C-alpha cells in the first residue's frame, strides 16, 4: 500500500512539473582562415566578421589618407615634370615653369630673353626643379608602398583578432598589493609587497 501511494504521489508530481531545458548559450568563435580570406577579398570584411565594427572606419580612413597622399605627390610630380620639360626644351611658347618660379623671367629664361638671362640662375633653377621632381617621385612611390602595407596590416589585424578573440588573461594573471612588515636588525619597518602570479 505504501509503495502504491508513493508511486501515485510521484506520478502526480511528475504531471505538475514542467521541465525547462536551458539551452547552452553559444559563444562566438571566429575562424581565423575565414577572417583572413574575407579581409583579403574586401578590406574591413574581416573586422566585420570578427564583430569589431569600430575598426572598419579606421581601415578606410587609412586607405583614404594614403590615397590622398598618392594624389598629392603625383599631381605635384606631374606639374614639375611638365615645368622641367618646358624649361629645357627649345620652344619659347612652352613656359609653364614661370608659374613655379617667382623670379623675373628675364633673369633665367634663355628662350624668351636670350640677351638678359643669367646662365648661373638658369642652372640653379634647373637643379631646383630636378630636386623637386626627385622629392615628389620618392614620396609618391612611398605612398604606393604604404597602401600595400596598410592592406597587409588590415589582413593581419583580422587574422590575429580572430585567433585571440576568446583569449582571456583575467583568470591566469593576477596582481596582489599587500602590506608587508620587513624585519631588519634595527627594528621592523613597513613596506608594500607587489607580487604577480600566473595560474596554469
Give per-residue pLDDT as tens, 88-107: 888 878 888 888 888 888 88
Contact of 50 with 164, CB cutoff 8 Å: no
Per the CB < 8 A criterion, the answer to whether 104 and 125 are in contact is: no
User: For the chain, what are the domain ranges?
Assistant: 29-165
The larger pLDDT score, comparing residue 149 to residue 96, is at 149
Largest CA distance in the chain: 135
Per-residue pLDDT reduced to its tens digit, 151-184:
999 999 999 999 998 876 665 566 666 666 666 6
Q: Burial code of 63-87, b = ≥16 C-beta within 10 A, e = fewer?
A: beebeebbeebbebbebbeebbebb
Amino acid at each position: 500500500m505504501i509503495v502504491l501511494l508513493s508511486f501515485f504521489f510521484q506520478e502526480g508530481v511528475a504531471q505538475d512539473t514542467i521541465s525547462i531545458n536551458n539551452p547552452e548559450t553559444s559563444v562566438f568563435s571566429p575562424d581565423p582562415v575565414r577572417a583572413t580570406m574575407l579581409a583579403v577579398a574586401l578590406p574591413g570584411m574581416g573586422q566585420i566578421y570578427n564583430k569589431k565594427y569600430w575598426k572598419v572606419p579606421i581601415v578606410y580612413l587609412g586607405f583614404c589618407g594614403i590615397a590622398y597622399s598618392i594624389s598629392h605627390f603625383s599631381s605635384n610630380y606631374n606639374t614639375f615634370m611638365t615645368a622641367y620639360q618646358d624649361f629645357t626644351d627649345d620652344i619659347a611658347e612652352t613656359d609653364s615653369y614661370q608659374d613655379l618660379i617667382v623670379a623675373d623671367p628675364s633673369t633665367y629664361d634663355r628662350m624668351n630673353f636670350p640677351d638678359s638671362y643669367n646662365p648661373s640662375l638658369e642652372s640653379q633653377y634647373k637643379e631646383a626643379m630636378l630636386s623637386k621632381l626627385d622629392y615628389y617621385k620618392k614620396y609618391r612611390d612611398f605612398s604606393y608602398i604604404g597602401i600595400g602595407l596598410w592592406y597587409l596590416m588590415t589582413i593581419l589585424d583580422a587574422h590575429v583578432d580572430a585567433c585571440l578573440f576568446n583569449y582571456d588573461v583575467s583568470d591566469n594573471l593576477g596582481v596582489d598589493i599587500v602590506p608587508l612588515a620587513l624585519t631588519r636588525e634595527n627594528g621592523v619597518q613597513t613596506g608594500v609587497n607587489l607580487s604577480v602570479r600566473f595560474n596554469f
